[in-house]
Every structure is written in structure tokens, then in C-alpha cells.
């Protein structure tokens, strides 16, 4: 069952999100696909919000009724790579399969191109076993460009990734109103 898309908003993280953050950043099912470690305490979550989320150039909390249920992060390139950025996201398991990540990305992608006008390309690197994330990207119009074999270490393992892209000329994202 999908959540009403109009209930999903993106906003900057704040210190009041600490308990909500633990619901997804404290869950190994979410963080196993991410570069950061699972948070294990409220203090760790508060530090993460203060030192990582708030100062980040483009990290947004995915919210329903102003409760944080996930995140989207964009990592802009610099210098000769200023035309592209990497995007990553995660959602609390309670909301998996309900269209939350898809709707959040439909909101985020146009906003990222607006906020970072030098961007031409947004890239997503997805673990080959993460079929749900692949479907999310494909639903909104990201193009699968290829397989990166033994591309990077993640949680102590050398793994394969698919690379996806969305270009500034690919608008509007599929499924937009």
C-alpha cells in the first residue's frame, strides 16, 4: 500500500529529529547499503545530526507529518567535476514498498538541479543486490548505465555496483504531476 504522496516532504534535519533518526540510522537493514555505520545510541545520533546532517551541503530529511522517516543526500562534485553529483537515500524499513523513496526522489531531483545550477548530471551507485533501490531509480527516469565490477569496499567487502544517471535535460522526472 502506497502512502499518499502529498504527505511526503523534504526539509533540512534539525536536532528534534534525533529519535526518528534512530528508527532508520540505527537499523542494520538500512545502513548495510550505506557507507556510514549503524548508529547505536541517541548521543551518537545527536552528534551525527550536528556534525554530518546539518552542515552537509544537500542532505534532507524525508518526512511524513514532520517526522523524519529517511534521508536524501547529494554530494556535489568540485573543480572539473562540479557538473555532477552523487545521490544517496534511505528510508525506515516500516515504510519500504510504500512509494516513499520514489516520491521523495521525485521531489528532490528537480530541487537539486535548481539549488545547484552548475549540475548537469546526478549519479546513483546501487549495490547489485539492492533491487528495490534499482526499481526506485528506474521509476523516476534514471538511466542504468552499466555495471561497475568490484567497484568499492562496503562494510569490508569488495562489491559490484550499478551506476545510474539523471541529466538536467531528462525532465520532468517520470511520474511527476
Query: Which three cell numbers mark 92?
Result: 525506515
Strand locations in the chain (E): 8-11, 59-64, 67-76, 84-91, 121-127, 143-154, 157-167
Q: For domain 5-167, is the CATH number 3.40.50.10210?
A: no
Q: How confident is the model at residue 173 (pLDDT cuts 50, 70, 90)?
A: low
The answer to whether the beta carbons of residues 177 and 168 sit under 8 Å apart is: no
pLDDT at 27 over 70: no
The answer to whether the beta carbons of residues 71 and 61 sit under 8 Å apart is: yes
The predicted model gives 22-38 an average pLDDT of: 69
Average pLDDT, the chain: 89
pLDDT digits (tens, 9 = 90+) for 31-75: 666 666 677 788 988 999 999 999 999 999 999 998 999 999 999
Domains of the chain, by residue range, sit at: 5-167
Identify the pLDDT of residue 5. 77
Amino acid at each position: 500500500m502506497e502512502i499518499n504522496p502529498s504527505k511526503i516532504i523534504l526539509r533540512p534535519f534539525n536536532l528534534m529529529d534525533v529519535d526518528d533518526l534512530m528508527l532508520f540510522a540505527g537499523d542494520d537493514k538500512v545502513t548495510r547499503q550505506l557507507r556510514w555505520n549503524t548508529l547505536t545510541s541517541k548521543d551518537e545520533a545527536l552528534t551525527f545530526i550536528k556534525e554530518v546532517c546539518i552542515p552537509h551541503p544537500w542532505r534532507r530529511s524525508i518526512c511524513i507529518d514532520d517526522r523524519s522517516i529517511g534521508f536524501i543526500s547529494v554530494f556535489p562534485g568540485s573543480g572539473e567535476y562540479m557538473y555532477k553529483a552523487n545521490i544517496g537515500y534511505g528510508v525506515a524499513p516500516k515504510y519500504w514498498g510504500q512509494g516513499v523513496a520514489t516520491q521523495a526522489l521525485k521531489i528532490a531531483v528537480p530541487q537539486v538541479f535548481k539549488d545547484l545550477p552548475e549540475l548537469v548530471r546526478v549519479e546513483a551507485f546501487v549495490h547489485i543486490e539492492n533491487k528495490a533501490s534499482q526499481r526506485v531509480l528506474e521509476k523516476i527516469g534514471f538511466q542504468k548505465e552499466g555495471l561497475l565490477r568490484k567497484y568499492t569496499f562496503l562494510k569490508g567487502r569488495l562489491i559490484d555496483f550499478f551506476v545510474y544517471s539523471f541529466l538536467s535535460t531528462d525532465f520532468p522526472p517520470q511520474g511527476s504531476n
